[in-house]
Amino acid sequence: MTSAITTPTGDTVRPEIGMIFGSLLRADFTVLLRSGRTLLLNFAVPILILVIIGLRTTKGGTTAFSGPGFVIGLALTYGLMASSLIGYSNTIARDRDAGVFQRLRVTPAPTWAIMCSRLLVQIVVDLIMTVIVVIIGSIVTRTAFTAGQYLLLVCVSILGGAMFLAIAQALVALVRSAAVINAVGRLLYIVFLLLGLLGASGILGTTIHDIANWSPVGAMINLYGGVLNFSSWGWTETNGLIATAAYIIIGALIGIRWFRWEAR
């Protein structure tokens, strides 16, 4: 980590913020690339879901939903949610318990740069995952996307990544124990996934269906489906956009206001 520089006259010169932020980004990217579980959550499992569901759909198999919008949207939503609620939150909690953040705070790096570096690295990985999943999804579902659709999918992934990161940040702000964060993150993942899938299918009734459309997973699937078939955009997709923005704002406010840099 970059430290302050002392001149021959005894004056202390603070490194430029660009140099500090660059050092943080390099360190965070290195840690992320060395994390096998993070790479598994971000790439391997979403691609596996994409291939399994996509092949069943193209072969005429029976699925709760069908169409490239749902198949690709589900895979992307899984990757974004798992990498944030399970990967990002656990990494932040472990580093806090290990005193990493306390050591970083005594360096010239401002606190906003420390957290922004972590978040930016995760967003970049999410975007890479989006490109890979969409390319494989177009092959599996035998669908050709336009340049505009690719761009809209990337934009939705940025929103989705920000939403799940905001929820994960709120989680590590409200819960101090790494073990509890791990358990709560997995529980939230299961609840969000089941609510989004089962609720959106309508098999649990109209009320649950309406609630599911406002859930993180339901909102994301509706947005992905909407940008792939923009001519059918309606209130369901608009509500998904509103819900996503609300989760980002609320999660960010909680995550910033109550986040603690030390474990105890």
Q: Tens of pLDDT along 3-33?
A: 454 444 444 455 677 788 788 888 888 877 7
263 lies in some domain: no
189 lies in some domain: yes
pLDDT over threshold 60, residue 98: yes
48 lies in some domain: yes
8 lies in some domain: no
Looking at 30-39, 155-164, 218-227, which range is the least confident one?
A: 30-39
117 lies in some domain: yes
Q: How many domains does the chain have?
A: 1
Residue 189 carries which side chain, given as an amino acid letter? Y
Check residues 199 and 261 and name the one with the higher pLDDT.
Answer: 261
Host domain of residue 169: 15-257
242 lies in some domain: yes
Alpha carbon distance 147, 28 (integer Å): 31
By CB atoms closer than 10 A (0-12, 13-18, 19+), residue 86 is buried
Top mean-pLDDT range of 186-195, 207-216, 225-234: 186-195
Q: Whose CA is closest to 90, among 58, 65, 122?
A: 122
pLDDT over threshold 90, residue 166: yes
Top mean-pLDDT range of 17-21, 31-35, 66-70, 242-246: 242-246
190 lies in some domain: yes
2 lies in some domain: no
